[in-house]
């Protein structure tokens, strides 16, 4: 039977420091900074290469060829005519009810209610105001202004009655619409115009009668004075006079797009209704029909516009990108990192842009062909 020998419990042990792993933390730090430095070098190298390519691309002015079109238009001025029914006041009085302007109304719609009140009635009221203090005070000032200068000195300004109407005036007359259309309170005296209104701006503005404008409740109106008009807003005309050289080409087109200065964000299609070529006067007279209502068109009699008569489709690129190789017109493109010459047909130039055919959409086009050569690598 073997006997185990137990360690001596009374002995003390001493740890002797070793020297095999001396400065190991210094070596780890050196490895860390070395790896960090290598990563930084790679990042700087990649970044410099990317920045170089970006700078090179900007220097070459590489752009994307976009599908698009060129518009061809001429500036014009002319007269707007509409089918307009003017309604006049059946009697003198104060407007007490008024339908909103600019709304499309149906037949039988109540338009204006007038409280019957003649100038003689106003004179009688003026006398009573001087003795009866129970009447409202604003009417007195209104009557004084009416008969002592306001109406006579400022005939273009509407007379508006403010305050409460005296209770003993109760008789009214109501105007209702006999036709459907757009309700407008803008009356200029040219409402009878319709076909072949080839007029000058000076004539239209000088011969225009007093404009009613927007009526308001409380306005005093005379019997027979034009109050409002009902406008056919489904179809209207635009009459222009163009020079002979440009007008002939436009007159050959049955339809155009017109952009009016008063509605620049609303281009509208127009159909040629009438054409007169006056060679002696070196002008072409054109009448277009428009079947779309524009905001505020009922207030316009004379308007400037842009008539777009043609549109060409193609690929749009910078004009400086066009170059020639061995007598052939084309552009340099970036094809897989290499410069390739792509022949094109130039349709037209506008505003430092070229409209071309023979180029695929979204091709990378080099805008500085003088800086590259065919077959050159770009990366």
Nearest-angstrom CA–CA distance, 171 and 155? 27
> Which residues make beta-bridge pairs with 293?
none
Distance from chain centroid for Cα 268: 12
Give pLDDT tens digits for 282-312.
999 999 999 999 998 999 999 999 999 999 9
Mean pLDDT score of the chain:
81
263 or 25: which leads in pLDDT = 263
CB 156 within 8 A of CB 270: no
Instruction: Give the pLDDT band (50/70/90) at residue 131.
Output: very low
* Residue 135 in this model has a pLDDT that exceeds 50: no
Q: How far apart are CA 210 and CA 117, in angstroms?
A: 22
| pTM assigned to the model | 0.70
Whether 132 and 111 have beta carbons less than 8 Å apart is answered as no
């Amino acid at each position: 039977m073997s006997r185990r020998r137990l360690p001596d419990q009374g002995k003390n042990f001493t740890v002797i420091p070793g020297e095999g792993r001396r400065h190991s933390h210094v070596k780890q730090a050196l490895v860390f900074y070395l790896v960090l430095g290598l990563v930084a070098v790679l990042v700087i190298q990649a970044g410099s290469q990317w920045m170089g390519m970006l700078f090179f691309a900007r220097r070459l002015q590489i752009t994307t060829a976009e599908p698009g079109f060129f518009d061809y238009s001429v500036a014009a001025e002319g007269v707007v005519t509409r089918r307009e029914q003017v309604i006049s006041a059946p009697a003198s009085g104060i407007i007490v009810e008024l339908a909103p302007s600019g709304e499309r109304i149906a037949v039988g719609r109540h338009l204006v209610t007038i409280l019957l009140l003649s100038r003689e009635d106003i004179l009688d009221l003026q006398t009573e105001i001087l003795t009866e203090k129970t009447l409202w005070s604003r009417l007195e000032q209104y009557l004084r202004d009416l008969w002592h200068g306001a109406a006579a000195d400022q005939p273009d300004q509407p007379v508006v009655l403010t305050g409460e109407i005296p209770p003993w005036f109760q008789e009214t007359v109501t105007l209702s619409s006999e036709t459907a259309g757009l309700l407008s309170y803008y009356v200029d005296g040219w409402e009878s115009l319709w076909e072949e209104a080839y007029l000058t701006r000076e004539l239209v503005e000088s011969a225009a009668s007093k404009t009613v404008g927007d009526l308001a409740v409380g306005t005093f109106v005379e019997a027979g004075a034009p109050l409002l008009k009902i406008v056919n807003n489904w179809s209207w005309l635009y009459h222009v006079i163009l020079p002979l050289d440009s007008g002939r080409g436009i007159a050959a087109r049955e339809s155009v797009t017109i952009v009016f200065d008063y509605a620049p964000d609303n281009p509208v299609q127009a159909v040629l209704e009438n054409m007169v070529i006056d060679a002696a006067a070196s002008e072409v007279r054109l009448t277009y029909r428009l079947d779309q209502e524009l905001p505020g068109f009922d207030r316009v009699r004379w308007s400037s516009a842009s008539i777009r008569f043609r549109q060409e489709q193609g690929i749009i690129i910078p004009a400086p990108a066009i170059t020639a190789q061995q007598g052939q017109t084309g552009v340099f493109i970036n094809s897989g990192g290499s410069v390739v010459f792509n022949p094109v047909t130039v349709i037209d130039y506008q505003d430092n842009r070229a409209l071309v055919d023979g180029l695929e959409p979204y091709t990378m086009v080099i805008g500085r062909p003088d800086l590259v050569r065919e077959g050159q690598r770009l990366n």
